[in-house]
Amino acid sequence: MYFSFTDEQEEFRSVLRRFLTEKSSPIEVRRLMETDEGYDKVVWQQLSKELGLTALAIPEEFGGSGFGVTELAIANEEMGRALLCAPYFSSAVLATTAILRAATKEQKTRWLPGLASGDSIATFAYAEQGGNWSDAEVATTAEPAADGYKVTGTKCFVTDGGVANQIIVVARKPGTVDSDGLMLLAVDAGAQGVACSQMPAMDPTRKLSTITFDAAQGELLGTDDAGAALAETLQVAAVCLAHEMAGGAERLLESAVDYAKLRFQFGRPIGSFQSLKHKLADMLMDVELTKSGAYYAAAAVDEGDPEAPVTAALIKAFASDVYMQTAVHTVQIHGGIGFTWENDTHLWFKRAKSSEVFLGTAASHREQMMRAMQV
């Protein structure tokens, strides 16, 4: 069960691959990455309304289709392959998962149908200036006020902050530290005291914002003790990001393989030289190991495996190392052309670089894994 997909899941993947091949070609990626919004509204409509991708992991009672993390992860893997420019990870993975894990039933009823249909776009604000994605780093506070909470602080590296209409903010009770006193709050992007500015993202396919909250009105998700829900949200996010990275790495490998067969030097295809053959075999191994780990981790979360926290941290760390290494090798195999703007490799290279640290570095995830294993 952990190691194979059902025929339905395979079919889902191939439908998605066809869709993304058409809608997210490198030409489209290049067009969208130059825009401020960073996504195509028509494609977003199609992927949410026609393919139902934004509804995948949302239960049917809240307007979703009731699938698990496994299906959500397949979507991310395919989007990673195609380098889809869309607020999918922010909205359908991060914010949706946070709501699913922390919100009350009434809140879910109010918010999830909009997210499921794609009419509403949400994002998730956790990291601050240090860019560590750690509980200890959270300085933003939430204080009870007349009708809800007042949120004050500055969030950084918020993905798709510029297009989200709802922000799920991680804040803390004043005076608490580390994982104590953490709360998840929903803030309207248009609320008074909320100011969003774009950060200069090196990966133009992943838009980043700084969002400041100056006593902005927030609505508490569930209870005021959200530490566990936050941890679960981050696990799902780590697993989905690992899939996105696996998909991107596989795409890079394929482009390197194709190029090594086409490019002739010294009278023979460069792929006939052992120095390249061996590098490509190493790349294949890395990519396949990552896929196995990612698939296992998604199933572990879906099945409530008590080791899921270990597995999620493990695969985020492993996948980010592999994605980056694969990108480095792919540029190298392309030689000079691989370092040009014209060649598409840099698009994935930059995504690999930004994924390396997004949600926390590999080193921090390895440490997280060791603690979860009680070493």
Partner 1 sequence: MQHTEEEVRSALRQWLEQNWDPDSSLIEWRNKLVDSGWGVADWPSEWFGKDLPLALMPIVNEEFQRAHAIGVANKGAGRLAAMTLLEHGTPDQKSQFLRRILTGEDVWCQLFSEPGSGSDLAGANTRAVLQGDHWLVNGQKVWTTSAHHADYGFLLARTDMDIPKHQGLSFFLIDMRQPGVEVKPLRQMNGHASFNEVFLTDAIIPKEYLVLSEGDGWKIATTTLMYERRNADSTLRGKKAHGGEQRIYQEEAEEIRVANEPYTWYPQRAGRVDLVVQRAQETGRNTDPVVRQEIAKLICLNRCVEWTARRARTAQEQGRPPGPEGSLGKLASSVVARAANRVHTMIAGGDAMLTGEDSPMQGVIAEVLVSTPAISIAGGTDEIQKNIISERVLGMPKEPRTDVDVPFRDVKKNSF
Q: Which residues of this protein are in contact with partner 1, per CB under 8 A?
A: 2-4, 257, 260-261, 268-269, 271-274, 276-278, 280-282, 284-285, 288-293, 295-296, 311, 314-315, 317-318, 363, 366-367, 369-370, 373, 375
Q: Of 267 and 336, which CB lies nearer to partner 1 in the complex structure?
A: 267
Q: Of 23 and 366, which CB lies nearer to partner 1 in the complex structure?
A: 366
Q: Of 163 and 276, which CB lies nearer to partner 1 in the complex structure?
A: 276
Q: How far is the CB of 274 from partner 1 (least distance, A)?
A: 7
Concatenated DSSP letters of 229-256: HHHHHHHHHHHHHHHHHHHHHHHHHHHH
Q: How far is the CB of 370 from partner 1 (least distance, A)?
A: 5
Mapping DSSP to helix (H, G, I), strand (E, B) and coil, where does residue 208 land? Answer: strand
**For residue 55, what are the CA distances in angstroms to 58, 68, 133, 275?**
5, 11, 26, 46
Q: How far is the CB of 359 from partner 1 (least distance, A)?
A: 16
Q: Cα–chain-centroid distance for residue 192?
A: 28
Q: How far is the CB of 289 from partner 1 (least distance, A)?
A: 4
Q: Of 123 and 326, which CB lies nearer to partner 1 in the complex structure?
A: 326
Q: Of 49 and 366, which CB lies nearer to partner 1 in the complex structure?
A: 366
Per the CB < 8 A criterion, the answer to whether 115 and 92 are in contact is: yes
Q: How far is the CB of 291 from partner 1 (least distance, A)?
A: 8
Q: Of 214 and 282, which CB lies nearer to partner 1 in the complex structure?
A: 282
Q: How far is the CB of 243 from partner 1 (least distance, A)?
A: 14
Q: Of 3 and 341, which CB lies nearer to partner 1 in the complex structure?
A: 3
Q: How far is the CB of 268 from partner 1 (least distance, A)?
A: 7
Per the CB < 8 A criterion, the answer to whether 196 and 207 are in contact is: no
Interior/surface letters 37-57, b for 16+ CB within 10 angstroms, e for the rest: ebbbeebbeebbeebbbbbbb
Q: Of 145 and 281, which CB lies nearer to partner 1 in the complex structure?
A: 281
- Residue 130's region, left for phi above 0, alpha for psi from -120 to 50, else beta, is alpha
Token couple for 349: 């290279």
% helix / strand / coil in the chain, to the nearest 5? 55, 15, 30
Q: How far is the CB of 9 from partner 1 (least distance, A)?
A: 13
Q: How far is the CB of 266 from partner 1 (least distance, A)?
A: 10
Concatenated DSSP letters of 87-105: THIIIIIIIHHHHHHHS-H
Virtual torsion, Cα 50, 94, 83, 255, nearest 10 deg? -120
Strands (E), the chain: 122-125, 141-145, 148-159, 166-172, 182-188, 194-199, 208-220, 264-265, 268-269
Q: Of 67 and 318, which CB lies nearer to partner 1 in the complex structure?
A: 318
How many C-beta neighbours within 10 Å does residue 129 have?
12
Per the CB < 8 A criterion, the answer to whether 202 and 353 are in contact is: yes
